Amino acid sequence: MKKKLIVILVLLFAAVLATIFSFLLVFGPSFGIWLRRPSPQDYGERALAFMENGYYTSSESWKEARAAARDALKEAQSYEDTWPVLREALSAAGGKHSRLITVSDADTGGEEKAELPRVSTDGMERGIITLVIPEFTEDAEQAQEYAQIVISWLHDHQDAAGVIIDLRGNRGGDMAPMIAALSPLLPDGEVLGTVFANGMQKTMTLTDGSFTGGSGISVESFKMPETIPIAILTDEWTASSGEAVLLAFRGLENVRTFGVPTAGYASTNTVFRLYDGTQIVLTVGADTVPRTGEIFCDEPIEPDILTDTPERDAAEWIRNR
C-alpha cells in the first residue's frame, strides 16, 4: 500500500511538472521565459503576436503588414534577418513611436546623471517665474529631488505675476516627477488619460501631490492661485511624456502655449523582450485629455501662438493679463 501511494505521488508530481513545462513552453516567452532556443520563424511569430496589442491593429494596413511579414519570415535564416521585417510590421501595428531596439542598438556607454529642472525669476517686482522642465529617466530618489526643486521655488514665489513652463527639448521619459513638480499649478482630479486599441481607457489623477501616472509619485505640495497666468513653451523636440505634461494643462483658462508644434509622440508604449535581448517598444494607447475629451497620438500638437520668439511673447502675454 505504501509503495502504491509513493508511485501515485511520483506520477502526480511528474504530471504537474509536465503541465508546468508545457505551459512555459507555450506561454513562457510572453513573460521572458524561454525553455528552448526559438527558430527565426518562431522568434518572428512571437514578435508579431506581441504586436497584436498595438494601437493601430484594427486597421487594414496592419492586417496586410502582418500577412506580408509572415511570408517574409519564412525565408529568415537568422534573427538578424527578421529585424527589417519586424520593423516594417511594427510601424503598422504601433505607428511612429514604436521601435525595435537590438542589443547592438542599445547604449552601452556610461549613464549620465539626469538633468534637473532650472528655475528663475525675471527680477522684477512680482516677477515672472521660468521653469525649465527637462526629460527624466532616473530612479525614484532622483524623482523626489527633481520635483522638489520646482515645488520649493513656487512656494517661495507665490506672489509671482505668472509662470513660464519651458518644455522645449523635453523628449520624455517618466512623466511622474514632471507632473509632480508642476502640481502646485494644476487642479486636482483627472489630468491625463490613455485610450487603448480595444476602446478601454485609463485615467491618471493628481491629488494633494500624489500622481498615479508614469511610475507614480507622491510629494508634499500646495496650490498656487488658480488664476495665475501660465505660458508653456514647446518646440519640435517636445515629445512623449513632454507632450503629456503639455496636455495635462490643456483646457485650463489661465494657460496659453507658445512656440512651434511638438514632435507628435503623445502615446503610451510598452516593452517586450525577445529571446536574444532585442526589445520591441510598442505603442498601445493614445494620450487623452479628460478635461476636453481630445485624443492625441502621432500628430504634432499645435501651440496657441505660433512664434519664433516664445519667451518674449509669453512674457508679454503674462504682463498684459
Q: Rg (Cα) of the chain, in Å, rounded?
A: 24
> What's residue 104's pLDDT?
85
Closest listed residue to residue 174, CA positions, set 204, 130, 207, 208: 204
The overall longest dimension of the chain from CA atoms, in Å, is 94
**DSSP conformation class of 100:** E
pLDDT tens, N- to C-terminus, the chain (321 residues): 666 556 555 555 555 444 544 544 455 555 556 556 899 999 999 999 999 999 999 999 999 999 999 999 999 999 999 999 999 999 999 999 999 999 888 655 545 567 899 999 987 768 899 999 999 988 878 999 999 999 999 999 999 999 999 999 999 999 999 999 999 999 999 999 999 999 999 999 999 999 999 889 999 999 999 999 999 999 999 999 999 999 999 999 999 999 999 999 999 999 999 999 999 999 999 999 999 999 999 999 999 999 999 999 999 999 998
pTM reported for the whole predicted model: 0.86
Torsion, Cα of 289, 290, 291, 293 (10° steps):
70
| 309 residue type, one letter | T
The set of cell numbers assigned to 155 is: 512656494
> What's residue 21's pLDDT?
44
| Pair 205, 189: CB distance under 8 Å | yes
Residue extents of the structural domains in the chain: 118-319
Strand partners, 86: none
- Which CATH code, of 3.90.930.12, 3.30.1370.10, 3.40.50.720, 3.90.226.10, is assigned to 118-319? 3.90.226.10
Helix intervals (H) in 116-197: 140-156, 175-181
C-alpha–C-alpha distance, residues 83 and 86, integer Å: 5
> What's residue 320's pLDDT?
93
> What's residue 8's pLDDT?
57
Residue partners of 51: CB distance under 8 A and separation at least 6: 57, 66, 89, 90, 93, 94, 280, 282
Strands 217-218 and 210-211, sheet pairing: antiparallel
Buried b (16+ CB within 10 A) or exposed e, 17-26: eeeeeeeeee
Buried b (16+ CB within 10 A) or exposed e, 62-98: beebbeebeebbeebeebeebbebbeebbbbbbbebb
